[in-house]
Structure 1
Amino acid sequence: MTTAGLEFLSLHPFVRQGVVDRVRGAIVGGALGDAIGLYTEFLTGEASRAAYPEGQFRLTSPVTELVNDGHRNKFTKGSWTDDTDHALLIILSYLHHNGHQPAASDLALRLRFWCEQGLRCLDRMPMGLGQTVGRVVFDADFLADPTATAYRHWAKGNYKAAPNGSLMRTAPLGVLCIDKTAEETFATAAEFSAITHADPRCVVSCCLVSGLVRGILRGEVMDENDVDEFIEQSLEWAEAWVGRRRGESAGVEPDLDREEFCKNVRARGFEELRLDDMRVMGYVYKALGAGVLVLRLGMRCHPLRARYIPSAAQETRAGAGSANLFERLISTLILQGGDADTNACVAASLLGALLGYSNLPPHWRDGMTHSAWLLEKCDVLCDVVRIFGGDPGYKGSSDPDTRVDGGKGVLTKEELDARDKAFMDVYMARAQEKVRSESGKGKGWMGKVFGSI
């Protein structure tokens, strides 16, 4: 069993400062990975490097332009995608209930609302909805029993689907469970995964990432040996969880394949993960493997020499460029292509927890849309989780942002139609801009028509 409670925060004057910095780093870092990953999402590695030959990105002026294509035209540069939206649903739910035990049933309600209305507190549309989440969430039985609904859809698909949609939202659970044992964190992560993604590969991935975030914040995960221990702990816990869930269906639901799991979480380089394999790029072990590899690389370049000294203080002593390290590792990752925003969201949450908010690159951090709002939510989360100490001064149930509708009410059909029309106007304008741009390159009428698809 691992330790629990928050007594460790009083072990040294630097501890609270360091943990707050790492909480901010995990949450804001994940959003940054998501926003930067959009630049190459669904591209091959070769196409990614051709589109951004310098291999560098900026969210502050001069902002790096997104490739003008049918996917990226749906988004605004500098913004995160559905990955961060769904992670925020967990945070906002927890805040709204004033820090009571996280409830997967409330996340289910918020997911259904998001799929229909978007993230209302920030007026964000529900862009990037995955197939698995869409099928499960819009099932008529979802709100009555989300876990059983997700399992039924998984079984209907012959127990094969294991996409990354629950992994992309799981990192905040490591913050919410900072005062819990690793085993309690695994249980929470499994519960939150299973409402949409029932496959054990999705569950064990969520257990590991949530557990690593928690372990880094608590000073229990400092090097690769600690990472390997958590890998084994999460796998053993998930295997037992599968056995308990299987019950009468023994021999039907597949076991976890240890060899496949370990192959991905012990990858020595990005080339082993083949992240841009278009047939399986959304496979949960791709994002998990990328995240663990980036964390390992970060630990090799930025070893934690003291358990509770803030990362920024260690950097000052060592003269290391941790902001450059975050940028270099995440940029290298997204230039592999594939499901780059999810891969980078998971990896940057882990790396951000390791390095801290103070070591995120300013030309990313300061240019991301809604960055100030997100940082404020990180700080009230630290208050509610009691990292600051004492009783929380913030009451989430009184914050309109934390309501399911963001305090702005439910959009009517007419309002939704008007929003969709405004979106399509912008989308088509960007597509036409591409046609005009390519028409000057001598592509002829076929290039004008098909080049924008």
Structure 2
Amino acid sequence: MTDELEFLSVHPFVRSIAQDKVFGTIFGSALGDAIGLYTEFLPQHEAERSYPYRKFSLVSPTTPIRSDSHRNKFERNAWTDDTDHALLIILSYLHNEGKVLPQDFAVRLQIWIDQGLRCLDRPPMGIGRLVAGVTKDPAFLESPEDVARKRWIKSGRHVAPNGSLMRTHPLGIICVGFNLEKTFWTAANMSVVTHADPRCVVACCISTALIRGILRGEVLTEADVDTILQQAYDWVEAQPELLNPGQDEELTPPEVAGLLDPKEFERYVYAQTWDDLKLDAAQQIGYVYKCLGSAILALRFGIRQTAPQFPISPDVFENIITDLIMCGGDADTNACVAGALLGCWVGYSCLPLTWANGIVYKEWLCKKTERFSRMVGIAYDNAEAVNENDPDTAPDGGKGLLSKEELDRKERDIILMILNRDKERKEEEERERQRVRGKGFGKWLKGMSSSGSGK
């Protein structure tokens, strides 16, 4: 065991608690992602109209998901692209025997854009505009960071979506034995593969450092959260190559400084209510600070609600994530990032069973998380299990890449599925209209009968 992991030997319970929190991080994020799909891209009022009972279940009887052109694309009771991208980091780490290799992640991401998550035969759904544009650039694999930077500059240095933040939580587990400086660099180097904006880098540094700190028992209060927020912000601000990607000499010092606005940052990370974040604001739902702010607020609520409690009620995670997704907006990504932080805080043992027991691929994810935890050094080492030959971790998932004909066939199958689901939705709507119309006609007949009797 390295000196940085000595904290695991302080008490016999520490390792088991840390292990529970690792599972809480990975599953908390995946569950937030899956539950968030229920309201993704809806305005808050429409989310409330669609799910008036504010209760969701992934086990039978499962909560019916709103049927529309967006949700009909996705597999039921499963996570979306957010968790897929996080899994690419985990699988890369396992395949490369405990090394974080941004270049290897870039290869996997480009494969995912075209073919999806091959090890689970999942198609690529929910591709972000920036990620798609960067990864499809012919020069991407040659220099991912350079392509991402040039695309960001071409946008006028304004584009700061949440695509790198949503995948970053496994890094917090990987960095549990790193010092804070190495933790920040690990997060930054993985962000700039696709997202060069310093706001995206700051957000990734914060998420990674908070998970690392919770696992190490160093983040115990909101004051500790605030310390990490400031440390990450100050660190990125002090790195010229991160604050001004490409060291553009055309920018004046005030323009460079303006790329990170402290007031803008504080407005989101110190929000007091969900309403403060305006998560469903049109044209802004994918902004990285909105996602970061919602995750920080979820963690704050978790800290406040669990400080006097032991054991922690599963209602804490469920209620906070439900409140978050009912705000609408980019709900699956917001809940994915928030679920990682909150799941790390409460641990897997305190996740709601009506969610955890119903998510698709649960056993597969358990096995990968267990091996991931051993590789990091948190779970007890089992050299044979850690170094096992797992074809799932290969870039092609051990299944080979799909041919053009196979991809075309899968695309046709997906289109057919969407059309069938849309047909079912329209038929259900028509049945509902007929039911309401019949009910109204019955009332009219009853009224006519009463008025005609005269007795």
Same fold (TM over 0.5): yes
Shift of 1:442: 4.5
Counterpart in the other structure of 2:350 = 359
Secondary structure class of the residue paired with 2:384: coil
CA distance in 1, matches of 2:89, 2:73: 24
Cα displacement (A) at 1:243: 5.5
Query: Could you tell me which residue of structure 1 aligns to residue 190 of structure 2?
Result: 192
Amino acid at match of 1:315: F
Which residue of 1 is the match for residue 42 of structure 2?
43
SS of 1:14's partner is: helix
Aligned to 2:285: 281
Shift of 1:391: 5.8
1:234 is displaced (CA, Å) by: 0.4
Q: Is the 8 A contact 1:261 1:285 kept in 2?
A: yes
Separation (CA, whole Å) in 2 of partners of 1:375 and 1:267: 34
Deviation at 1:178, TM superposition (A): 0.7
Residue matched to 1:18: 17
Alpha-carbon distance in 2 for matches of 1:297, 1:161: 29
3-state SS in 1 of match to 2:41: coil
Residue 445 of structure 2 is matched in structure 1 by: none
Aligned partner of 1:25: which letter?
G
| Alignment equivalent of 2:269, drawn from 265, 268, 273 | 265
Q: Which amino acid aligns with 2:270?
A: R
| In the alignment, structure 1 residue 53 sits paired with structure 2 residue 57 | no
**Letter of the aligned partner of 2:81 in structure 1?**
D
| 1:77-96 matched pairs, under 5 angstroms | 77-96=76-95
Cα displacement (A) at 1:439: 2.5
1:308 corresponds in structure 2 to none
2:5 is aligned to: 6
Q: 1:396 to 1:35 in 2, by over 3 A?
A: farther
Partner-residue secondary structure (3-state), 2:21: helix
Q: For 1:114, give the aligned amino acid.
A: W
Which residues in structure 2 correspond to 1:21-36 (within 5 Å)? Answer: 21-36=20-35
Q: Which protein shows a greater Rg?
A: 2
Give the residue type in structure 1 aligned to 2:130.
T
Paired with 1:244 and 1:204, the residues of 2 have a C-alpha distance of: 9
Matched residue of 1:398: which SS?
coil
Task: Specify which of 403, 412, 424 is matched with residue 421 of structure 1.
Answer: 412
Output the CA distance in 2 between the equivalents of 1:242 and 1:436.
58
> Which residue matches 1:451?
none
The question of whether the paired residues in 2 share the 8 Å contact of 1:25 and 1:352 is answered with yes
Which residue of structure 1 lines up, in the alignment, with residue 96 of structure 2? 97
Pair 1:34–1:396, CA change in 2 (3 A)? farther
Match 1:177 to one of 175, 181, 189: 175
The CA distance in 1 between the partners of 2:183 and 2:263, in whole Å, is 24
Structure 1: state its 5+ residue gaps.
306-313, 444-453
Give, in whole Å, the separation in 2 of the partners of 1:113 and 1:244.
27
Question: Paired residue for 2:367, among 369, 376, 383?
Answer: 376
**CA deviation vs aligned residue, 1:238-285 (integer Å, no higher than 9, x gap):** 101246663353426543101110110000000000000121000000
Distance 1:337 1:106, change over 3 A: same
Q: Quick one: distance in 1 between partners of 2:404 and 2:42?
A: 35
Contact 2:302 2:342 in 1 (8 A): yes
Asked if 1 retains the 8 angstrom alpha-carbon contact of 2:243 and 2:260, the reply is no
2:202 equivalent to 1:201: no
C-alpha distance 109-397 of structure 1, shift in aligned 2 (>3 A): farther
Mapped to 2, the partners of 1:196 and 1:366 lie a distance apart of 33
Q: Provide the rounded CA distance (Å) in 2 between the counterparts of 1:116 and 1:248.
A: 33
TM-score normalized by structure 2?
A: 0.91
List gaps (5 residues or longer) in structure 2: 435-455
- 1:395 is displaced (CA, Å) by 3.9
1:396 positional shift? 5.0
Superposed CA offset, 1:135-161 (max 9, x none): 000001100000000000000011000
Q: Is the 8 A contact 2:243 2:259 kept in 1?
A: no
Letter in 2 for 1:149: V
In the alignment, the residues of structure 2 paired with residue 202 and residue 211 of structure 1 have an alpha-carbon distance, to the nearest angstrom, of 14
Matched residue type, 2:29: G
Per the TM alignment, residue 107 of structure 1 is displaced from its structure 2 partner at its CA by 0.7
SS at structure 2 position matched to 1:394: helix
Q: Distance in 1 between matches of 2:395 and 2:69?
A: 30
Distance in 2 separating the partners of 1:242 and 1:272: 32
Distance in 1 (CA, whole Å) between partners of 2:44 and 2:262 is 28
Q: Which amino acid in 1 is paired with 2:33?
A: D
> Does residue 299 of the first structure (1) align with residue 303 of the second (2)?
yes
The match for 1:388 is 379
Partner of 1:129: 127
Give the C-alpha shift of residue 434 in structure 1.
Answer: 1.5
In angstroms, what is the RMSD of aligned CA positions?
A: 1.6
For 1:125, the aligned partner's letter is: P
Segment of structure 1 superposing worse, 384-393 or 401-410: 384-393
Q: Secondary structure at the match of 1:227?
A: helix
CA deviation after TM superposition for structure 1 residue 195, in Å: 0.8
Query: Identical aligned pairs, as a percentage?
Result: 48
Q: Read off the aligned partner of 1:373 and give its amino acid letter.
A: W
Distance 1:4-1:271 versus aligned 2 partners, 3 A rule: farther
| Residue of structure 2 in register with 1:74 after alignment | 73
DSSP 3-state at the match of 1:440: helix
**How much does 1:18 deviate?**
0.2
Decide whether the 8 Å contact of 2:374 with 2:386 is kept in 1.
no
Query: Which of 323, 329, 334 does residue 325 from structure 2 map onto?
Result: 334
Which residue is 1:256 aligned to?
A: 260
Contact kept in structure 2, 1:201 and 1:284, CA below 8 Å: yes
- Of 102, 106, 109, the match for 1:108: 106
Match of 1:235 among 224, 233, 247: 233
> For residue 290 of structure 1, what is the amino acid of its counterpart?
S
Q: Does 1:346 align with 2:337?
A: yes
Amino acid at match of 1:430: R
Aligned residue for 2:157, secondary structure, equals coil
Counterpart code for 2:310: E
Kindly tell me: are residues 272 and 294 of structure 1, through their superposed partners in 2, closer, same or farther at Cα, counting changes over 3 Å?
same
Q: Distance in 1 between matches of 2:29 and 2:78?
A: 12
The size of the alignment, in residue pairs, is: 427
Give the distance between the partners of 2:323 and 2:90, measured in 1 at CA: 29
**What is the identity, as a one-letter code, of the residue corresponding to 1:294?**
A
For 1:281, what is the secondary structure of its paired residue?
coil
